[in-house]
Amino acid sequence: MPRKTLNRRSILKGATVGAAATAATFPSPAISQENFRWKMVTTWPKNFPGLGTGAQRVADSITEMSDGRLTVKLYAAGELVPAFEAFDAVREGKAEMSHDAAYYWVAKHKAFPFFCTVPGGLTTQEHNAWVYYGGGQEFWDQLCGDFGMRAFLAGGSGVQMGGWFQKEIHSADDIKGIKMRIPGFGAEVINRMGGTAVNLPGGEIMPALQSGVIDATEWVGPWNDLAFGFYKIAKYYYGPGFHEPNSALECLVNLDAYNALPKDLQAIVRHACKAENVGMVSEFTAANSASQTVLVDQHKVQIRHFPDDVVKTAFSIAGDVVAETAEFDGLAKKIYENWSHFRGEAIARGPYAEQGYMNNRAL
């Protein structure tokens, strides 16, 4: 009797039967065919270099990676809601997500700036490390969860410049009496140094500088500052700043909308944000270097470091201002303590890591 052999047909047949039997017993999680349409509000003008274009990339990446199963339409500041109503728009479900900076929401909870930037805080690399692997994301989930939202890192500018001044700064005394556009906790530091901090949206800075309403301003860095033309009014450009050492940006997501997504689309949202978290900082880094060359070579800008006593005074006051956030409530205290411990270890590590290398490289 010929030996019965498994030929190709019987293997295929068996495979089909096996697959059918498996499917009957364990229904496979077939890819959901349900389509989702999300709105993304932002705190940025349409296609504003770096910030607005980065937000657009997040929206486009999600749409592309999901092959249109989750389409995200971006609304620039003022198109659906004003810039500073993005938080409430996502909380109330008017939009499913937002691209913005967490320190704008300090009036909602004093701990939000820790997830963007605070004076004397972490660098971009350290901040990413704290959020992804140092406990930051868990605290962030807790903080945002209280508002029915979730947040993911989604970009950043890197360390910002200290700003544009019409006169040279020789010592901390020279800050006294200066009227400077500077937002957030950095504003409080300037006030405690004897200056007067003014908060103005980006579009109002140049007229205020021209008319003398302010004597000095910070904005972002060479790339964005060159575009605004501050060099035409103020000759001295100081950096790095003490006030925004990383300026991480976030995507806020409505928790109900996120939970309604199948797991693969949730992963696409998370990973689109993570991709832009690298992409935007890289774009800022490349463009800032090229723009600094233009400012110095073509526009003859005087680029300077702040004198040591300005730096020491600013960091000392910044330490007090940031520590005061812990008094807000129990969660703020826990976040401050966790962040502060992480920062302390990062400072001890610095001289033997990037900071040490960069100092050596400059010798």
Residues that bind Ca ion (CB under 5 A): 160, 244
Nearer to Ca ion, 42 or 160 (CB): 160
Q: Which helix (H) or strand (E) holds 149?
A: strand 149-156
What is the smallest separation between the CB atom of 220 and Ca ion, expressed in angstroms?
5
What is the smallest separation between the CB atom of 223 and Ca ion, expressed in angstroms?
12
Q: Half-sphere exposure of residue 310, counting CA atoms within 13 Å on the CB side?
A: 22
Report which residue type is found at 162: G
Q: Which helix (H) or strand (E) holds 55?
A: helix 51-65
Nearer to Ca ion, 204 or 264 (CB): 204
Nearer to Ca ion, 126 or 244 (CB): 244
What is the smallest separation between the CB atom of 322 and Ca ion, expressed in angstroms?
17
What is the smallest separation between the CB atom of 198 and Ca ion, expressed in angstroms?
13
Distance separating alpha carbons of residues 81 and 87, to the nearest angstrom: 10
CB 221 within 8 A of CB 124: no
Nearer to Ca ion, 228 or 328 (CB): 228
CB 278 within 8 A of CB 249: no
Nearer to Ca ion, 124 or 160 (CB): 160
CB 222 within 8 A of CB 292: yes
Nearer to Ca ion, 160 or 246 (CB): 160
108 φ, ψ (degrees, to nearest 5): -80, -40
Query: Exposed, middle or buried: residue 180 (CB in 10 Å: 0-12, 13-18, 19+)?
Result: buried
Query: Exposed, middle or buried: residue 35 (CB in 10 Å: 0-12, 13-18, 19+)?
Result: exposed
What is the smallest separation between the CB atom of 160 and Ca ion, expressed in angstroms?
5
Nearer to Ca ion, 188 or 244 (CB): 244
What is the smallest separation between the CB atom of 184 and Ca ion, expressed in angstroms?
8
What is the smallest separation between the CB atom of 205 and Ca ion, expressed in angstroms?
10
3-state secondary structure string across 281-341:
HHHHHHHHHHHHHHHHHCCCCEEECCCHHHHHHHHHHHHHHHHHHHHCCHHHHHHHHHHHH
